Amino acid sequence: MVNIWAMNNRGLIMNATPLDKFVAEKGQSEAARLLRVTAPAIHKALTAKRVISVFELPDGGFEAIEQRPFPSQKTAA
């Protein structure tokens, strides 16, 4: 695990792992299953170098949160 911390909506502090490290530890198929997405979605996120942190929940599940700039959509020039 990497030393990144975040607080969830219940006030619990959770340790975060970058998506690429999570996939390296679990494998792409298992990471996809644990995050309830498809393996191609994991591959696409890694290829696009999206900033995604994976949190292990107190119940043993996992949740992923993406850090995006604000505003996240580019404005028309």
Residue 61 lies in a domain: yes
Helix (H, G, I), strand (E, B) or coil at 53: strand
Write the CATH number for 13.
3.30.240.10
Domain that holds residue 39: 4-66
**From residue 31, how far is each of 58, 60, 66, 74 by CA, in Å?**
18, 14, 15, 30
Q: Mean pLDDT in the chain?
A: 85
Statement: residue 3 has pLDDT above 50 = no
pTM: 0.75
pLDDT digits (tens, 9 = 90+) for 34-64: 999 999 999 999 999 999 999 998 889 999 9
Structural domain count of the chain:
1
Residue 72 lies in a domain: no
Residue 77 lies in a domain: no
